[in-house]
Structure 1
Amino acid sequence: HGHIVGLSLSPDHKYLYVNCRPWPKNYIISDPQESPPLAQEVEISTIDLTTFNFVGPVLRSHKAYTHSDECFFLNLDVSDDYVASGAEDRQGYLWDRHYGIPLYRFPHRNVVNCVAINPQDSEILVTVSDDYTFKVWMSRCRASELTGSNDAIKGTSV
Structure 2
Amino acid sequence: MKVKEDDTLLLKHCISGHGKPVSFVAWSPDDTMLLTCGNKEVLKLWDVDTGICKLTFGSPADCVISSCAWFPDSKKIVCGSSEPHNRIWTCDFEGNELEVWEGERIPKVSDLAVTPEGNHLIICSSREIWVRDFPRGKEWVISEEHSITSLSVSSDGQFLIVNLNSQEIHLWSILGNCKVADRFTGHKQGKYVIRSCFGGSNSLFIASGSEDSQVYIWHRHQGKPIQVLSGHSMTVNSVSWNPTKPHMLASASDDRTVRIWVGSRNPCQSPFP
TM-score by length of 1: 0.68
One-letter amino acid of the structure 2 residue matched with residue 118 of structure 1 = N
String of CA shifts for 1:118-150, please: whole Å, max 9, x gaps: 1012211011000000111011x34xxxxxxxx
Determine if contact 1:45/1:54 at 8 Å carries over to the other structure. no
- Post-superposition offset of 1:3: 1.2
How much has 1:57 moved relative to structure 2? Answer: 3.1
Does 1:91 find its partner at 2:214? yes
Match of 1:60 in 2: 185
**Alignment correspondent of 2:252:** 128
Structure 1: how far apart are the matches of 2:227 and 2:194? 17
Count of paired positions: 120
Unpaired runs of 5+ residues, structure 1, are: 23-41, 67-71, 143-152
> In 2, distance between residues paired with 1:116 and 1:103?
18
| Structure-2 residue corresponding to 1:30 | none
Contact 1:15 1:46 in 2 (8 A): yes
Residue identity in the other structure for 2:249? L
Q: CA deviation at 1:64?
A: 2.3
Assess if the C-alpha contact under 8 Å between 1:78 and 1:84 holds in 2.
yes
Alignment match of 2:161 (pick from 17, 41, 47): 17
Percent identity of paired positions between Structure 1 and Structure 2: 32
> Secondary structure of the residue that 1:102 maps to in structure 2?
coil
Letter of the 2:240 partner, please give it.
A
Q: Distance in 2 between matches of 1:118 and 1:54?
A: 31
Normalised TM-score (structure 2): 0.41
Give the distance between the partners of 1:122 and 1:2, measured in 2 at CA: 31
What do the CA deviations read for 1:81-134 (whole angstroms, capped 9, x no partner)?
110111111111111113334122122100000001110122110110000001
Q: Which gives a bigger RCO, structure 1 or 2 (Cα 8 Å, sep 6+)?
A: 1
Matched residue, 1:76? 196
Q: 2: distance between equivalents of 1:85 and 1:78?
A: 9
